[in-house]
């Protein structure tokens, strides 16, 4: 028998598994990577070479962010659909974390660039938006960044009703104030004039509008800063936004965003959004 076939001390097993002694003890106490032997008098833990395969699996699960309790469940579920779905969900969560981190980095870059100058990726101008026809779906979502729930309803309905969009999409904000939760939104797609739809979709014929527009190059987290820049422009130019009263104001008075880049096809830093506030 070679030395590698003999039981290993916890230190030896730590060296070969790349798991610390502290974590090996922690895992053992939670029923994960239980030592092959425990000396009853000294309490020394011994491991066998076959356990290195299991240790590698534990380390991989730990490295992708699973907790000790989750690892215990996953080890028992290996080879099942539940195991695969747990990995898929964890990947999705990590994607969300990465996206959020990129957006925070972009905000930091903007703050650094702002010293003594305006934000380089937000430009504010007064523009004329041509008359247009849009198909919209109205609804209330938990937060502004959850408007994707409405898109998940709109796009299938658009397909079923054989409606053909003719340009970039966007969203109207119905609430006359900023809301921490439960904003009411209408997501929309531009369509040819004369388009007809069935409920729950609506058609809106919008007249030519004068707006103050902030063009945002970067993540959606910059939209709040875009509104700050719009307010600065309104004050400096002596302009007045269209008056607002409540949720049922005419849709032509509502502030809106137009998304020029599909977020599913681009990184957050590559997005381009036009944030528009109609003028009185």
Residues 6+ apart with CB under 8 A from 103: 219, 220, 221, 268
pLDDT attached to residue 115: 56
List, for the chain, all residue ranges whose pLDDT scores fall below the cut of 70. 1-5, 110, 113-120
pLDDT attached to residue 120: 59
Taking residue 67's Cβ as centre, other Cβ atoms within 10 Å add up to 10
pLDDT attached to residue 118: 46
Task: Quote the tokens at residue 187.
Answer: 């997501």
pLDDT attached to residue 5: 64
Between the CA atoms of 86, 89, 90 and 96, what dihedral angle is there, to the nearest 10 degrees?
-170
C-alpha 114 chain-centroid distance: 25
pLDDT attached to residue 3: 47
Sequence spans of domains, the chain: 3-78, 122-278
Query: Do the domains spanning 3-78 and 122-278 agree at the CATH topology level?
Result: no
The order of strands in the sheet holding 169-173 is 122-129, 209-217, 272-278, 256-259, 169-173, 184-191, 132-140, 202-206
- Residue 70, helix vs strand vs coil: helix
Report pLDDT digits (tens) over 218-261: 888 888 889 988 999 999 999 999 999 999 999 999 999 999 99
Report pLDDT digits (tens) over 177-193: 998 899 999 999 999 99
C-alpha 8 chain-centroid distance: 46
pLDDT attached to residue 174: 96
- Label residue 47 exposed, middle or buried (CB < 10 Å: 0-12, 13-18, 19+): buried
**CATH entry 1.10.287.1260 includes domain 3-78:** no
CATH superfamily of 122-278: Regulatory factor, effector binding domain (3.20.80.10)
Q: Determine contact, residues 86/47, Cβ cutoff 8 Å.
A: no
């Amino acid at each position: 028998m070679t030395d590698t076939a003999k039981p290993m001390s916890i230190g030896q097993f730590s060296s070969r598994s790349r798991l610390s002694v502290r974590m090996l003890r922690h895992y053992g106490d939670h029923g994960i990577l239980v030592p092959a032997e425990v000396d009853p008098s000294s309490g020394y833990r011994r491991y066998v070479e076959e356990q290195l395969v299991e240790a590698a699996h534990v380390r991989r699960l730990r490295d992708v962010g699973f907790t000790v309790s989750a690892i215990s469940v996953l080890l028992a579920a290996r080879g099942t659909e539940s195991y695969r779905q747990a990995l898929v969900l964890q990947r999705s969560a990590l994607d969300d974390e990465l996206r959020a981190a990129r957006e925070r980095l972009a905000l930091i870059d903007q703050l650094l660039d702002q010293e003594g100058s305006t934000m380089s990726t937000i430009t504010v101008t007064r523009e004329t938006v041509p008359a247009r026809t849009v198909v919209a779906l109205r609804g209330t979502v938990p937060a502004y960044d959850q408007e994707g729930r409405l898109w998940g309803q709109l796009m299938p309905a658009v397909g079923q009703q054989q409606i053909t969009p003719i340009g970039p999409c966007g969203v109207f904000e119905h609430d006359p104030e900023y809301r921490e939760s439960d904003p009411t939104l209408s997501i929309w797609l531009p369509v040819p004039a004369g388009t007809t739809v069935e409920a729950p979709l609506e058609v809106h014929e919008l007249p030519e509008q004068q707006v103050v527009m902030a063009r945002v190059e970067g993540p959606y987290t910059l939209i709040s800063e875009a509104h700050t820049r719009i307010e600065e422009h309104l004050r400096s130019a002596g302009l007045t936004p269209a008056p607002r009263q409540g949720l049922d104001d005419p849709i032509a008075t509502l502030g809106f965003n137009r998304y020029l880049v599909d977020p599913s096809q681009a990184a957050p830093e590559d997005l381009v959004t036009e944030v528009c506030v109609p003028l009185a």
